Each structure stands twice: as C-alpha cells, then as structure tokens.
Amino acid sequence: MPPADLSSLPTEATSYLLRQALADRVAGVLIGSALGDTIGLYTEFLSAADAATAYPTRRFTLCGPKNEGPTLFKLDMHRAPKEPGHWTDDTDHALLLLLSFLLTASTDLPPDKQPLPTQADLAKRLRVWVRQGLPPLDTLPLGLGRTVGSIVASAGFDTSPEAVAREYWERTGRVVAPNGSLMRTHPLGVICLFREEREAFALAAEISRVTHVDPRCVVACVIGTGLVRGLVNGEVRDWHGVEGVVERGVEWYVKEGKQGGDQDWKEDDWEHLQSYVGRKVGLDELKLDEHGAIGYVYKTLGSGVVLLRMAMERLGNGNEGFPQKGKVFEELITDLVMHGGDADTNACFAGALLGAYLGYSALPGHWKHGLKHGDWLSGKVEALCRALGLLDGSYAGVHDPDTEIYGGKYPISDDEMEQRWMLLQADVAAKMDKSAKAEALKAPTSNPWLRWPLPWPPKTRKRG
C-alpha cells in the first residue's frame, strides 16, 4: 500500500500508479458508505428474524439484467417514501461535510493546506437540511433522528452548536449516546489523508460535538476517522494496525480531547469499548437488533470494526485476488444488514471502512451502478481527489454551485415545502394501497372461486 507522503515517491510512473491506488480507496470510502447505507435501508428497524422473513434469499440487487429490476422493499411506512437505490439521511449528512470542504478547496493549495470544515459551517448546513433536505439534489429531509432534530431546532444552534448540544446532553441526563455523528464523519478521514493523525482526531472530535458531545460519541468518531485515514493511506494494513488506531484514539481523547464537563475516562470505559471492538467480538455479540438500543454509537462502531476484521481475515495469507475482493464487500454488508436494527447507519459506517480497505474497484457492480444520484456523487469524489492531488486537473469550489449552503439555488418557501410533503404523502398512500391490494390477492382461501383473478380452468373441475 502506498505511503501518504507522495513527495517521497521515486519516479513519475510510480507516483501516478500510487496516486491512482489512493484515489480508488478514496472513492471506495465515499461510495462504499453510500452503498452500505442504501442496502441497509432494506432492513432498517427490523429484527433479524423479521429481516430473514422479508428477504429469504438474502440477496439484494440495485440493478440487474434486462428484465430484472432492483430488489423490492418490504413495504411499510418507513420504506415507502424511498425507492430502491436511494441512500438515507446518513449519507446526506456525510455529504454536508464533503460539500463544506469542497466549498473552499482549490488545486492551487497543497493537500495539507486546504481549509477544513468548521462547526459553524456544518451547523448552517444542518439547519438547511432539516428544513428542506439536500439542496443540490432536491431531496427531502427523510430519516431525521430525534437527537439531531432537537438540537438543530434549538435557539442559538447557528452560532454556538457545541454549547447547544452540550446543554441537550446535560438535560437528558448524560446517558444519550446515539450514532448520529459517527454516521457522518468518515469523509474527515479522507480530508485529513495527508495530515497528522492527531489533527484528524481533533477534527473528528470537533465535528462530533456539533450535535453529539457524549464522550462515547466523540471517541467513536475519533476512532472511525482515524481508521479511514489509516486504511486509505496504507498505515493500517492488518488487525494490529486497527488495534493501534483504537488505542491511540482513546489515548488522544484522554490526554488532549476531553472537555471540562466530561467525566474522566476509566478502566471500565475501556473494557466497555473493547466489548464492541475487541478481537473476539462478532456480529452476534453486538446484538444489533436489541430492543431500545439499536442506535447506540458503539454498536455502529463495532459493526464497522468487526466487518473490517472479517475482511482482513478472508483476504489474509496472500489471498488478495480481485475476484475474492469483489465478493467480500457484498457478502459482509449483506450479513450485517440481515442482523437488522439500525442497519443503514451500521452499514454506512462499515461500508466506509470496507471501501477504504478494498477500494472502489472491489465494490459490487450491481450495487454501485444502481445507486441513485451515483453519477453526481462520483463527480464530487473526483473533485475531492483533484483537491487532494490524486487526480490530474484543476478544481475550485467557489465555481461549483453545489457546494454552497443552498446548492446555488434560492431557499425553498414554506408553501412549496408543504406542497412537496403533501405530494410525498399522496405517493406513499398510493404505494401502501397498491401493496395492500396485492397482499389481499395472495391471501389464502379455501374456496378457489373466491380468488381474483379466477383460476381458469379451475383445478377443482374437469373439462367437458
């Protein structure tokens, strides 16, 4: 795997090949996470048992051969507003950070001198998203979590987001530690690709605290960002490297990242973390569909770390051929989402880690080519790679309207937003009605003449 310091590369040809490898892994992070999010929507909020009943083949596809469309959702009020191939709020929020970085990015600056996303800019973008969705794509703000929704709607969030988030945390008894900040911070690992690990840790902690100040949330974001950075730049190659990031992330938090109002990190805290990310932890031990606890941040962190370890084990002993790598992402993400729970968030984070390790080229084609808005996302990945010096060509975010707070458009009026919500509600009602009628046709009955359409010729009668 290539080193992070491109200036040390010996020849122009070697430099080109290594930059291409890095770019492949950067794309793997951002598109892999979107794919995990998209596939996770199929089983989000289901138990493992219900997921097995809803999807008995354990196979998901977003695009298939000529007459084979994407795998259909188990249709309910949660999934009905979306179509197969759409990512959720998890990827939307990660894109807010990416767009924040791209706004001030320019190929005129070295990769390690690009301005970094700030709390203030993310707060403004979250305010816009909560009201009208992701402006560049005109998508609605579906899937808004309780913690983010409550904090973003609070007075003063625009100017002092961390203070508002801390007040909310204190008011809820310091026990709330959901995964809403971990789901968005993986782009920071790529943004900090050519920066010191400690700088990546610090940025991850700062961005987490825009909405999530609980130490468990902060530590999870620190570790997740460090893992993405280390996997892409080649510092993390095996399980020993993973453990190193976890240990250094906690050490950084204890010595430098802990805020005045946070409790001291204790041995029990380390043991609790290890019960989710330790060497012997598997998906079953994470209890991902545990009632009342599916959104716990360490479950999501553990999901990614466990799948990363499994991928490393499968590709160990020199078994790193492309066909094998091409299977690993799909099989592991499928195993993860079939455990149910907060499946889209778990798979979003896990998809980022697997994408960083395996690269874009190893992502399943029938997933990445069926991703809605996939071309748009690929364009932003290309812009990021140019800003980081991994691809040739120029880029200046000031000339890209998508990076602006409102995506280069006017704010949507309240009346127009109300109309959009009404249209969505009508569409959902029509889908649910159609689904109910289809289920009624399939309902068993003892009298074949009561089925519609009628069987012809009836199996209970003889001809002539």
Q: Taking Cα atoms as reference points, which of 146, 164, 148, 39 lies closest to residue 93?
A: 148
Q: Distance between alpha carbon 144 and the CA centroid of its chain, in Å?
A: 14
> What dihedral do alpha carbons 344, 346, 348, 352 form, nearest 10°?
-170
121 is in an annotated binding site: no
Handedness of CA 151, 152, 155, 157 (dihedral sign): positive
DSSP result, 219-274: HHHHHHHHHHHHHHHTS--SHHHHHHHHHHHHHHIIIII--TTSPPP-HHHHHHHH
Residue 392 marked ligand-binding: no
Nearest to 144 by CA among 86, 203, 198, 78: 78
90 labeled binding residue: yes
DSSP codes, 324-362: HHHHHHHHHHHHHHTT-SSHHHHHHHHHHHHHHHH-GGG
Structure tokens at 425: 């509600």
User: Coil, helix or strand for 396?
Assistant: strand
| Sign for the pseudo-dihedral over CA of 379, 382, 388, 389 | negative
**Tokens read off for 41:** 């929507």
43 is in an annotated binding site: no
415 is in an annotated binding site: no
Residues paired with 296 in a beta bridge: 178
Helix axis angle for 239-252 and 297-314, nearest 10°, is 150
- 345 labeled binding residue: yes
What 3-state DSSP class applies to 178? strand
Rounded Cα distance between 275 and 295, Å, is: 16
Region of 9 (left: φ > 0; alpha: ψ -120 to 50; beta: rest) is: beta
Residue 6 CB coordination number (10 Å)? 16
What are the binding residues for Mg(2+)? 88-90, 342, 344-345
What are the binding residues? 88-90, 342, 344-345
